[in-house]
Amino acid sequence: MLGPDDDLSAEPLRSPTLTESPPSEPIFKAPAVAVLLALSLPALFWLQARLPDGGLSLAFRPASLWRGDWWPGLLTSMFMHGGWGHVAMNALGVFAFAPPVARLMPGPRGVAGFLAFYLVTGLVGTAGYGLIHPDTFDPLVGASGAVFGVMGAALRLLGRRDGSLRPLGDRRFLLMAGVIMVVNAGAGVIGLLPGAEGARVAWEAHAFGFIAGALLIGPWVRLFGSRRTSFDSPPDLRDPSA
């Protein structure tokens, strides 16, 4: 009740639900570096199609790894693709798996670390393929090794909303990794991978990249991640304790 001395001119009551709106959430939360990386793949292929040889001279030929003819192909082949279907598959793979990995490494240092992680896993994939096929001169192109690298890292985050990594021996991770490797090997043997019509699928490069990504993400986040990131993997390649 109001008394005779109560001031009716006091500030009126406000309902926060009517006068204050909750902070807006961005619709698209993917880190810019992951989005730009995915968009760079079709952009680079557009440029590749305008090269005199269609980028063939930038491909990797495994035999050159041993003869020393064209070592830069280990790196340059990652930026070339065999067709629009091929580049579309890899761009979608980056869109799907790179964002959670990029979030583990914020800031300018993290951006550099994430891009280095992408390149290193891609190099491991390409070099691994060269080790398996040391005598072939067939050209290898594509960023699939790097895409599988970020996929292997992203699967260590499966179901973890706090940014912590699943142990390497985690059953859920191992199950998903096993399914992906079986499908990957099957696609390579049967040749049913979309965008690879008429071309050999370098499933071995995918496997090497995937394994590298799953193993390296632990020490990588130690080097380039935020100190506030919840992280349960040791700085070496051992399984973290349960």
The CATH number of the domain holding residue 176 is: 1.20.1540.10
Answer whether residue 41 is part of any domain: yes
Give the whole-angstrom CA distance, residue 28 versus residue 197: 33
Answer whether residue 234 is part of any domain: no
- What is the total count of domains within the chain? 1
Answer whether residue 20 is part of any domain: no
pLDDT score of 31 more than 50: yes
Answer whether residue 19 is part of any domain: no
Answer whether residue 217 is part of any domain: yes
Answer whether residue 14 is part of any domain: no
Selected residue with higher pLDDT from 157 and 28: 157
Answer whether residue 237 is part of any domain: no
Answer whether residue 141 is part of any domain: yes
Q: Which of 190, 186, 180, 188 minimizes the C-alpha distance to 213?
A: 180
Give CA angle at 177 (171, 180), nearest 5°: 140
Strand partners, 60: 140
Q: pLDDT, tens digit, for every residue of 131-183?
A: 999 988 889 999 999 999 999 999 999 877 777 899 999 999 999 999 999 98
Mean pLDDT, residues 47-58 taken together: 94
pLDDT at 192: 54
**What is the signed CA dihedral for 205, 207, 208, 211, rounded to 10 degrees?**
160
**Structural domain containing residue 145:** 30-224
Mean pLDDT, residues 73-97 taken together: 94
